[in-house]
Amino acid sequence: MEELALHILDLLENALAAGARHILITIEEDEGRDLVTIEVRDDGRGMGAEALQKAVDPFYTTRATRKVGLGLPLLQATAAQCGGDVFLESRPGQGTRVVATMQLSHPDLPPLGDMGATIAAALSREEPVELVYYHRRGQKEFKFSSTWLQLHLGEIPLNCGPVLDWVQRYINKGVAELYGGEGK
Amino acid sequence: MIKSLEELQKIKETQLEAIRLREADQKAKIVVGMGTCGIAAGAREVMSAILDELGKRRLTNVAVTQTGCIGLCAQEPLVDVILPGKPRVTYGKVDANKARQIVAQHIVNGIVISEWVVNRGEE
């Protein structure tokens, strides 16, 4: 995957496919420790020990449409290439937590990419999901909560074009501010 | 930040107005394949272009949703368009540019762009 945000979208899709109602995405960029930590935590159906062990095996999948499952193996490869690792924690009925670490200054570290489009894509669905995205970079932080947005919108569904278009622009502006930019 | 919220408020007002106007009307629906295969092939950019186009055209009566891998990985990114009362039309190998044209032609004008279609639902 060319962006960290695409790996994150893939993790979000896993969480949604597992029936998650709540998803917490945390990105922390720590220059002092030269570390970027990405965490996606959900309250979906989770996995048992056996499935958990096989989750990073590309020839393991629970779906019937094809025989390979590449999402986690691809993330694992990116993390390993960038001096980091992937940790999985899961229990049946209790959700899943995926943590990926990478060396912040590593030359192969993919760019963060379009987090706005990633979150908007994850929210483009009919079944409601409460999603929180928290991003810290040094002393600065940005937070987006779909629950806040839904409260603000009232009866209007999140998954209509103009709302999700606003979401992607709002998030990208917030993230750009973390990097000292003014945003688009 | 304040400007963004004003903008959100405007979207909300337009949207509420649209809900009032179309009470009985059915919604059109766009479905983007968002499995690992779709994501790797550019599905997020396709989704992003669709949202941008719907936003610019203020098309509020379109539900945007997604699906996982349906086994047509080689044709990803896949986009389904379902107009009220019409069968599902599936477009294959969609990119951002094609996605914008699908919104303009199929959603707005009701014209199917046959050369990009990979599957059609039953009548």
The pLDDT tens digits for A137-154 are 999 999 999 999 999 988
Q: What value does the mean pLDDT take over residues B42-51? A: 96
Complex ipTM: 0.85
The CA distance from B43 to the nearest CA of chain A, in Å, is: 9
Distances (CA, A) of A45 to A88, A94, A96, A97, A182: 14, 6, 8, 12, 40
Residues of A in contact with B29 (CB under 8 A): none
Any chain B CB within 8 A of the CB of A10?
A: yes
Q: Is the pLDDT of residue B24 over 60?
A: no
Residues of A in contact with B52 (CB under 8 A): 165
Q: How many domains is chain B partitioned into structurally?
A: 1
The whole domain housing B87 covers 24-120
Residue B98 domain flag: yes
Q: Please name the fold of domain A4-110+127-141.
A: Heat Shock Protein 90 (3.30.565)
Q: Which residues contact A139 (CB under 8 A, 6 or more apart)?
A: none
Residue B43 domain flag: yes
Q: What is the model's pLDDT at position A67?
A: 61
> pLDDT tens, A5-33?
999 999 999 999 999 999 999 999 999 99
Q: Is B15 in Cβ contact with A153 (below 8 Å)? A: yes
Q: What is the model's pLDDT at position A62?
A: 74
Q: What is the model's pLDDT at position A184?
A: 44
Tens of pLDDT, residue by residue, chain A (184 residues)? 889 999 999 999 999 999 999 999 999 999 999 999 999 999 999 888 887 777 777 777 776 666 666 778 899 999 999 999 999 999 999 999 999 999 999 999 999 999 999 999 999 998 889 999 999 999 999 999 999 999 998 888 898 899 999 999 999 999 999 998 654 4
Question: Length of chain B, please?
Answer: 123
Give first-to-last CA distance, chain B, whole Å. Answer: 48
Residue B114 domain flag: yes
Q: Which residues contact A38 (CB under 8 A, 6 or more apart)?
A: A4, A7, A8, A25, A26, A27, A99, A100, A101, A102
d(Cα B5, Cα A92) in Å, to the nearest integer? 40
Point out the residue among A69, A124, A149 whose CB comes nearest to the CB of B66.
Answer: A124
Residue B10 domain flag: no
For residues A124 and B11, the answer to whether their CB atoms sit within 8 Å is no
CB-based burial label for B115 (10 Å; 0-12, 13-18, 19+) = exposed
CB-based burial label for A106 (10 Å; 0-12, 13-18, 19+) = middle
Q: Identify the CA nearest to B45 among candidates A176, A66, A9, A170.
A: A9
Point out the residue among B40, B63, B71 whose CB comes nearest to the CB of A1.
Answer: B40
Q: What value does the mean pLDDT take over residues B79-95? A: 95
Lowest mean pLDDT among A18-22, B6-10, B18-22, B28-32: B18-22
Any chain B CB within 8 A of the CB of A107?
A: no
A130 φ, ψ (degrees, to nearest 5): -100, 115
Q: Which residues contact A169 (CB under 8 A, 6 or more apart)?
A: A116, A184, B4
Q: What is the model's pLDDT at position B59?
A: 87
Residue B3 domain flag: no
Residue B106 domain flag: yes
**Which residue ranges make up each domain of chain A?**
4-110+127-141
CATH number at residue B65: 3.40.30.10
3-state secondary structure A91-142: ECCCEEEEEEEEECCCCCCCCCCCHHHHHHHHHCCCCCCEEEEEEEECCEEE
Q: Is the pLDDT of residue B40 over 90?
A: yes
Residue B16 domain flag: no
Any chain A CB within 8 A of the CB of B76?
A: no
Residues of A in contact with B19 (CB under 8 A): 155-156
Any chain B CB within 8 A of the CB of A176?
A: no
Q: Is A9 in Cβ contact with B39 (below 8 Å)? A: yes
Point out the residue among B15, B35, B64 whose CB comes nearest to the CB of A13.
Answer: B35
Provide the edge-to-edge strand list for the sheet that holds A35-42. A85-91, A95-103, A35-42, A22-30, A130-137, A140-145
Q: What value does the mean pLDDT take over residues B8-29? A: 77
Residues of B in contact with A8 (CB under 8 A): none
Within 10 A of A89 (CB to CB), how many other CB atoms are there? 14
